[in-house]
Amino acid sequence: MGEAYATLMSRMKEIETVSQIQGLLGWDQEVMMPPKAAPLRAEQMAWLSRTSHSMMVESTMGEVLDAAEAEGAGDEIAAGNLRLIRDAYDKATKKPVDFVERFARHKSKSIVSWTEAREKDDFSIFRDDLAEMIELNRELAGYLGYEDNPYDALLDIYESGLCVSQVDPLFAGLREALVPLIAAVGDCEAPDMSWVTSNNWPEAAQAQLSHEISSAIGFDFDAGRRDKSTHPFCGGSNPDDVRWTTRYDEAEPFGSLYGSLHETGHGLYEQGRPRHLDFQPAGHADGLGVHESQSRLWENQVGRSLAFSEWAIPHWSEYFPSNMNGVTGEMLWRSVNLVAPSLIRVEADEATYNLHIMIRYEIEKQLINGDLDVDDLPDAWDDMYEKFLGIRSPNRKQGVLQDVHWSMGAFGYFPTYTLGNLYSAQLLVAARADLENDETLEEMWARGEFEPLLQWMRDKVHARGSILSPAELVEEATGQAPTPQPFIDYLRAKIESLYGVAA
Ligand code: ZN
């Protein structure tokens, strides 16, 4: 590789080091920090952000990057690095400094008004700030640039290369399949949850179970930690130091355990990143959608299967001997797969979840393109819930005011959640084709054998870092461009086996 490329990579290592420190301080803030340290921590974090931003936009950076591109990429790793650095550099330099400051200032302001509006259940308190936030996002799309649709520029922030023409058919396919399926489940009898609700689930035992299961599916606790925080997340600095968190509710154990499986999935991805690409952009995980595919894989596709429930029963019994008396793997499986339309996205089940996302996607697209007025938004929200999920919010709090994202200016983020579900189903189908010779993955899971599936993900996804774009990575691993069909097939089969209905 040429001299300019070498200079560029050593600069990227410095920038990455700053971001690793940010990650650790962010973890400390959520998990350990005493409350009085908050203002001090805000100063420290702001300094680190400013420092890494100025390293990125520093006057000679553009020249070094141009020169490295002119040298040409010798291999796919260098090509990946150059593509990612160009993208980050353009995104950092295309926005005028005064815009970045206006955006940050407005974000602080609108988070406050959103919080108050939600508390008081009064959309009008947030209305003006939201309108301005939409304006700012249109302005942002203008700086970042787009071909057909300003919303494309915003989607691209969170998933490189993502655009409306890709996402529209994915959601259309989902909508067509899921709406009738969920309506059919609505007429079925709900599973018996009394063994869950009539018991208390001590936090210490939940923590032990969560640790044991995370370890059993392959998380390396010598290169990571599990802690407790209000908002579960996975962070850390590098594959040798991956930290995830969970929260506990003694009234029900599923939030914590399935949250643990979810964060373990993110953690496994981080621990599996290619070590020869440490400190290089191409060595990072490949965007939010692929990251979410790994968390959803272990949480849902594996963790909510009948085979997994049967394998897990003795572990549950070890930590909750009296609660689990008489509970079978099938009872556990039915309980963790309750399907019912609800108003709140974060509490939604695997089947209805993507309709919550589809609604937000359609609304964001209309807001950014000027097809929906802010004043019409709250009712448009409720109308879409009624149309697609058959339920209507009795207030704004459980309706349009439930998510923090828009107050933070994050338009284009939501679709990555659904991409994760779609990718996970598509990857699992491809893994089955390679791994199921003598027996099914379910037969392996029932014995607690998760290694073959993890190793497949390591080879096809984790070890590939972000050398390819997310859509290219999925295509390379599965032989097919991203499609909603495997996910639809998976849900149909699952709902048929749970409820005996087909649509
Ligand atoms: Zn996640």
| 236 within a domain of the structure (yes/no) | yes
What gap in Å lies between CA 464 and CA 450, rounded to an integer? 20
22 CA from centroid of ligand 1 (Å):
19
Give backbone dihedrals phi and psi of 264, rounded to 5 degrees, phi first. -60, -40
Neighbours of 276 (CB within 10 A): 9
Nearest CA to 137 out of 148, 123, 149 is that of 149
- pLDDT the model gives residue 434: 98
Active site residues: 263
Q: What percentage of the chain exceeds 90 in pLDDT?
A: 83
pLDDT surpassing 80 at residue 319: yes
Determine the 3-state secondary structure of 228 from DSSP. Answer: strand
Q: Look at the block and give the residue holding tokens 């290089």.
A: 280
266 CA from centroid of ligand 1 (Å):
7
CATH number of the domain at 392, please: 1.10.1370.30
97 CA from centroid of ligand 1 (Å):
31
Q: Are residues 176 and 218 in the same domain?
A: yes
52 CA from centroid of ligand 1 (Å):
25
Q: Are residues 141 and 170 in the same domain?
A: no
Residues composing the chain:
503
Q: Are residues 61 and 172 in the same domain?
A: no
- pLDDT the model gives residue 105: 84
pLDDT surpassing 80 at residue 422: yes
pLDDT surpassing 90 at residue 1: no
- pLDDT the model gives residue 28: 93
What gap in Å lies between CA 38 and CA 452, rounded to an integer? 44
- pLDDT the model gives residue 45: 86
* Mean local confidence (pLDDT), 290-301: 97
Query: Model confidence over 403-416: pLDDT tens digits?
Result: 999 999 999 999 99
| CA distances from residue 45 to 23, 38, 99, 271, 280 in whole angstroms, order as listed | 10, 10, 20, 25, 22
pTM of the model: 0.92
Q: Are residues 238 and 294 in the same domain?
A: yes
* Mean local confidence (pLDDT), 46-59: 89
Q: Are residues 478 and 410 in the same domain?
A: yes
Q: Are residues 24 and 99 in the same domain?
A: yes
Side chain identity at residue 79, one-letter code: A
189 CA from centroid of ligand 1 (Å):
30
Q: Are residues 140 and 169 in the same domain?
A: no
- The two tokens of residue 241 are 């130091």
Considering 101, 116, 145, which residue would you say is the last residue of a domain? 145
Q: What percentage of the chain exceeds 70 in pLDDT?
A: 100
Q: Are residues 399 and 495 in the same domain?
A: yes
Q: Are residues 82 and 208 in the same domain?
A: no
| 156 within a domain of the structure (yes/no) | no
* Mean local confidence (pLDDT), 299-311: 97
Q: Are residues 75 and 207 in the same domain?
A: no
Question: Between 254-271 and 451-460, two packed helices, what is the crossing angle to 10 degrees?
Answer: 50
Query: Model confidence over 479-496: pLDDT tens digits?
Result: 999 999 999 999 999 999
Q: Are residues 294 and 402 in the same domain?
A: yes
Strands 241-246 and 234-238: antiparallel
Query: Model confidence over 27-42: pLDDT tens digits?
Result: 998 899 998 998 898 8
Please, which contacts does 444-450 make with residues 24 or more away whose CB atoms are closer than 8 Å? 445/302, 445/305, 445/307, 445/308, 445/311, 446/307, 446/308, 446/310, 446/311, 447/311, 448/216, 448/311, 450/216, 450/217, 450/218, 450/302
Query: Model confidence over 360-390: pLDDT tens digits?
Result: 999 999 999 999 999 999 999 999 999 999 9
Nearest CA to 495 out of 188, 114, 232 is that of 188
- pLDDT the model gives residue 503: 61
Query: Model confidence over 166-209: pLDDT tens digits?
Result: 999 999 999 999 999 988 888 888 888 999 999 999 999 999 99
Confidence band of 502 (pLDDT split at 50, 70, 90): low
Considering 96, 114, 145, which residue would you say is the last residue of a domain? 145
- pLDDT the model gives residue 340: 87
80 CA from centroid of ligand 1 (Å):
24
- pLDDT the model gives residue 183: 87
Query: Are 213 and 332 a contacting pair, CB within 8 Å?
Result: no
Annotate 90-105 with three-state secondary structure: HHHHHCCHHHHHHHHH
Query: What total of structural domains would you count in the chain?
Result: 2
Query: Model confidence over 197-216: pLDDT tens digits?
Result: 999 999 999 999 999 999 99
Query: Are 2 and 68 a contacting pair, CB within 8 Å?
Result: yes
| 29 within a domain of the structure (yes/no) | yes
- The two tokens of residue 38 are 């908050």
- pLDDT the model gives residue 117: 96
Q: Comparing 101-110, 252-261, 373-382, which segment has the lowest mean pLDDT?
A: 101-110
Confidence band of 49 (pLDDT split at 50, 70, 90): confident
Buried b / exposed e along 62-84 (16+ C-beta atoms within 10 A): eebbebbbebebeeebbebbbbb
Side chain identity at residue 65, one-letter code: L
Nearest CA to 373 out of 131, 161, 168, 148 is that of 131
Query: Are 486 and 426 a contacting pair, CB within 8 Å?
Result: yes
| 347 within a domain of the structure (yes/no) | yes
| 153 within a domain of the structure (yes/no) | no
Q: Are residues 139 and 218 in the same domain?
A: no
Full residue range of the structural domain in which residue 92 is found: 3-145
- The two tokens of residue 322 are 């009296």
| 158 within a domain of the structure (yes/no) | no
N-terminal to C-terminal alpha carbon distance within the chain: 56
| 132 within a domain of the structure (yes/no) | yes
Q: What is the DSSP string of 62-96?
A: HHHHHHHHHH--SSHHHHHHHHHHHHHHHHHHHS-
pLDDT surpassing 90 at residue 347: no
| 151 within a domain of the structure (yes/no) | no
* Mean local confidence (pLDDT), 49-70: 93
* 222: CB partners within 8 A, 6+ apart: none
Query: Are 226 and 211 a contacting pair, CB within 8 Å?
Result: yes
29 CA from centroid of ligand 1 (Å):
19
Side chain identity at residue 188, one-letter code: C
Considering 145, 173, 196, which residue would you say is the last residue of a domain? 145
